[in-house]
Chain A
Amino acid sequence: MDVKDNQQHAFPGDVHPTASGGILVSKLDDVINWARSNSLWPLVFGTSCCAIEMMSTASAKYDWSRFGFEVARATPRQADVIIIAGTIVNKMAPVLKRLYDQMADPKYVIAMGACATSGGPFFYNTYSVVKGADHVIPVDVYVAGCPPRPEALLHALITLQAKIKAGDKREKIVIEKFVDSN
């Protein structure tokens, strides 16, 4: 882990040394984002072979609990992040939208693999596949691969953490878009 990563994982703020130890000066927003990014609970959601890789990422060899993802929830009410692991077909799209709507804010989305990002191998000549899950719900991080290796998913999860720590909330992005378009 290099210095940059160390900084990324460190508690946010500046330490001002005093005689009896030190005083930490930080912003509450930064602390909240730090806490959020280190305990992201994924939703148990997988629609095809990417789900197998996702399970592999969760299991002992890759072990995403090292980064705070261990508590996979079977209900969207308790989940923070939905990993779209697999093909989204037209029939599944309303279900995905509903799951996303049922998740409490703040919520994040990772599109895992070719199908979730673009329709992938089902882009041409298919009547049933949604050409990218971002037609249904907004996506924070895209992962390439068919299916992606567990390392790639771990990288996506770490990227999402960095994004959260950087403080760009989706609410803010949505509002900026809304302001721009008006």
Chain B
Amino acid sequence: MNREELQSAITALNADITFEEGGEYLTANIPADACRDIMQALHNLPAFEMDYMFCLTCVDWKTHLTMVYHLESRKHAHAVVIKSKLDRENPEIETLSDIWRTAEFLEREVYDLFGVRFIHHSDLRRLLLTDDWEGYPLRKDYEDPINMIKL
């Protein structure tokens, strides 16, 4: 599918989806509570068949967090970016690790560095930092007076 076809097909999945203009990929903003259903559809429906998640990350906007998923179909060669806003104080979203296996480690990384809790994740532990680490270093308000020299 080309960009326009993809956009209309995704809109048909859920009425609350909005799209961003510009950017290399088609970018859809979806509500966090509908994230799992939409992702499942993108993965399973033959029209999409997004079988490859090539990036999963998070952005701290100070007012809120945004989860960012990059999906691609190897069969149809189309790609889409899915974004989902999260509450900064209590960031929670359903895991996608059972849909795309690669999300298991990527979600652990996001949990490690941003503190997003992935519901029903099979093994949500810190990935890079030590288990007793306090705080989430990639958050904008992270403070570490010993190791960090503020500019």
Contact = CB atoms under 8 A, between A and B. Distances in A.
Contacts of B144: 127
Interface stretch (A54-62, A118-126, A154-162): A118-126
B61 interface: no
B143 to A, nearest CB: 9
Given A127-B142, A127-B144, 18 more contacts: A90-B147, A91-B128, A123-B149, A124-B149, A124-B150, A124-B151, A125-B148, A125-B149, A125-B150, A125-B151, A126-B147, A126-B148, A127-B137, A127-B147, A127-B148, A128-B137, A128-B147, A131-B149
Nearest to A131: B149
Contacts of A127: 137, 142, 144, 147-148
B94 to A, nearest CB: 29
Interface in A85-108: 90-91
A128 B129 CA distance: 9
Of the candidates A90, A126, A127, A131, the one having the most CB atoms from chain B within 10 angstroms of its own CB is A127
Interface string B36-62: 000000000000000000000000000
Per DSSP, chain B at the interface is: loop
Interface residues of B, number: 9
Contacts, number: 20
Contacts of B142: 127
Interface of A: 90-91, 123-128, 131
Nearest to A90: B147
9 contacts: A90-B147, A124-B149, A125-B149, A125-B151, A126-B147, A127-B142, A127-B144, A127-B148, A128-B147
Contacts of A128: 137, 147
A131 B148 CA distance: 10
Interface of B: 128, 137, 142, 144, 147-151
Nearest to A124: B151
Contacts of A126: 147-148
A125 B128 CA distance: 18
Nearest to B133: A127
A132 B75 CA distance: 48
B33 to A, nearest CB: 32
A124 B151 CA distance: 6
A91 B144 CA distance: 16
A125 B139 CA distance: 12
A62 B6 CA distance: 51
A126 B138 CA distance: 10
Contacts of A131: 149
Nearest to B151: A124
Contacts of A91: 128
B7 to A, nearest CB: 38
